[in-house]
């Protein structure tokens, strides 16, 4: 892979680039495990001179290129996991989170009214080394990139368009649990039209040999651009179906897309002027006990919006959402280091 600068969309990453990123993520994960061990040991007994030296050496290596650099965390939409993992990653690597906005309310009236471009230009004058941007509109990260005077932009979610770093974390999770991605069958279920994580993940999966089952009502299916990409990809077989129970016995990965009504607490939600009943969509397109009974042994369930009160018996769900979240930290550490090391 050439130098990594902006991260805007998943299509930037081919199979080779992903392999390179995964190796770098492996290093971050190993380092964090080791660092955590040293910290715990140090709290009880002091480290030997040898251990102290080794700890210092590996910390210097991990933080090289990032230490002392500034990240601006510019979130026009709220976020828990993405923002927390980027900010934690930066701090672990010895960098600073110099600016951190966490929702549109935190922007001044002027900034809210001004074009995103003006805000990015203005922030660029404050000497950031990288800007992490979440925005409600599709294409916002690309717009920010166009006006950024050399400061790398990382897309942390732009409307329903893309969430490339989450997709890399999800793919890394799959690769780690199954040791390889080729040969897997993966089902996405729910509102596939609006899921930026799944859009980005589909673009990444187009680089591999996989079967993809897209399970959704017709009006909420994957957007045309993603379907075109998957249909053209040499190694992908795409099956669009609307009955989860029929296909669940064929897949190793079952990825639940967020159903919007759940978050807003409403009975209905609207996508592209079309109204949907939350209850109806949830009944037919979420993972329930019937579905779980048919899951293949060794399969996993990925669901970033998972809440224990959603009636599933936790013991029976091979849920990996906590692994997804932790891998999100390691992935963001690796990506920040790759970007910042080269500027």
* Contact residues for ligand CP, defined by CB under 6 A: 79-82, 157, 163, 166, 304
> Which is closer to ligand CP, CB of 166 or CB of 327?
166
Task: Report in angstroms how near the CB of residue 166 gets to ligand CP at its nearest.
Answer: 5
Task: Report in angstroms how near the CB of residue 94 gets to ligand CP at its nearest.
Answer: 23
> Which is closer to ligand CP, CB of 181 or CB of 331?
331
User: How is residue 162 written in tokens?
Assistant: 């893309």
With a CB cutoff of 8 Å and minimum separation 6, the contacts of 103 are: 75, 76, 77, 78
Q: How many CB atoms lie within 10 A of CB 281?
A: 21
> Which is closer to ligand CP, CB of 124 or CB of 269?
269
User: How is residue 178 written in tokens?
Assistant: 């199954």
Task: Report in angstroms how near the CB of residue 75 gets to ligand CP at its nearest.
Answer: 8
> Which is closer to ligand CP, CB of 80 or CB of 109?
80
Task: Report in angstroms how near the CB of residue 325 gets to ligand CP at its nearest.
Answer: 8
Task: Report in angstroms how near the CB of residue 162 gets to ligand CP at its nearest.
Answer: 11
Q: φ and ψ at 97, to 5 degrees?
A: -100, 95
Q: Exposed, middle or buried: residue 88 (CB in 10 Å: 0-12, 13-18, 19+)?
A: middle
Q: How many CB atoms lie within 10 A of CB 178?
A: 16
3-state secondary structure 150-186: CCCEEEEEECCCECHHHHHHHHHHHHHHHCCCCCCEE
> Which is closer to ligand CP, CB of 152 or CB of 328?
328
Torsion sign, CA atoms 337, 177, 232, 284: negative
Task: Report in angstroms how near the CB of residue 324 gets to ligand CP at its nearest.
Answer: 8
Task: Report in angstroms how near the CB of residue 130 gets to ligand CP at its nearest.
Answer: 17
Task: Report in angstroms how near the CB of residue 305 gets to ligand CP at its nearest.
Answer: 9
> Which is closer to ligand CP, CB of 101 or CB of 124?
101
> Which is closer to ligand CP, CB of 94 or CB of 139?
139
> Which is closer to ligand CP, CB of 82 or CB of 191?
82
CA 238 vs. chain centroid, Å, equals: 22
Angle at 300 between CA 297 and CA 304, to 5 degrees: 160
Task: Report in angstroms how near the CB of residue 231 gets to ligand CP at its nearest.
Answer: 27
User: How is residue 5 written in tokens?
Assistant: 């600068």
> Which is closer to ligand CP, CB of 155 or CB of 299?
155
Torsion sign, CA atoms 214, 219, 222, 224: positive
């Amino acid at each position: 892979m050439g130098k990594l600068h902006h991260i805007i969309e998943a299509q930037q990453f081919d199979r080779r680039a992903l392999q390179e990123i995964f190796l770098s993520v492996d290093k971050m994960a190993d380092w964090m495990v080791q660092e955590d061990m040293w910290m715990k040991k140090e709290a009880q007994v002091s480290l030997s001179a040898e251990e102290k030296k080794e700890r210092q050496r590996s910390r210097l290596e991990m933080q090289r290129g990032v230490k002392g650099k500034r990240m601006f965390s510019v979130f026009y939409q709220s976020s828990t996991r993405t923002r927390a993992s980027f900010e934690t990653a930066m701090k672990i690597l010895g960098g600073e989170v110099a600016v951190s906005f966490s929702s549109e309310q935190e922007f001044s009236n002027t900034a809210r009214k001004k074009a995103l471009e003006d805000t990015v230009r203005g922030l660029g004058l404050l000497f950031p080394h990288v800007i992490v941007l979440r925005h409600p509109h599709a294409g916002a990260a690309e717009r920010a990139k166009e006006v950024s005077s050399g400061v790398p932009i990382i897309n942390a979610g732009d409307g329903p368009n893309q969430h490339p770093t989450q997709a890399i974390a999800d793919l890394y999770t799959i690769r780690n649990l199954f040791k390889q991605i080729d040969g897997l069958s993966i089902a996405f279920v729910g509102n596939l039209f609006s899921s930026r994580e799944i859009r980005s993940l589909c673009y990444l999966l187009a680089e591999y040999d996989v079967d993809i089952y897209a399970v959704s009502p017709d009006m909420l299916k994957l957007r045309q651009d993603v379907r075109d990409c998957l249909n053209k990809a040499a190694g992908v077989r795409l099956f669009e179906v609307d009955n989860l129970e029929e296909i669940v016995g064929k897949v190793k990965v079952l990825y639940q897309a967020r159903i919007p009504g759940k978050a807003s607490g409403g009975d209905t939600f609207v996508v592209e002027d079309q109204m949907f009943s939350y209850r109806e969509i949830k009944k037919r397109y979420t993972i329930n006990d019937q579905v779980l009974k048919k899951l293949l042994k060794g399969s996993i369930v990925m669901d970033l919006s998972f809440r224990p009160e959603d009636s599933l018996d936790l013991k029976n769900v091979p849920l990996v959402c906590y692994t997804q979240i932790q891998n999100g930290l390691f992935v963001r550490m690796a990506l920040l280091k790759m970007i910042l090391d080269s500027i």
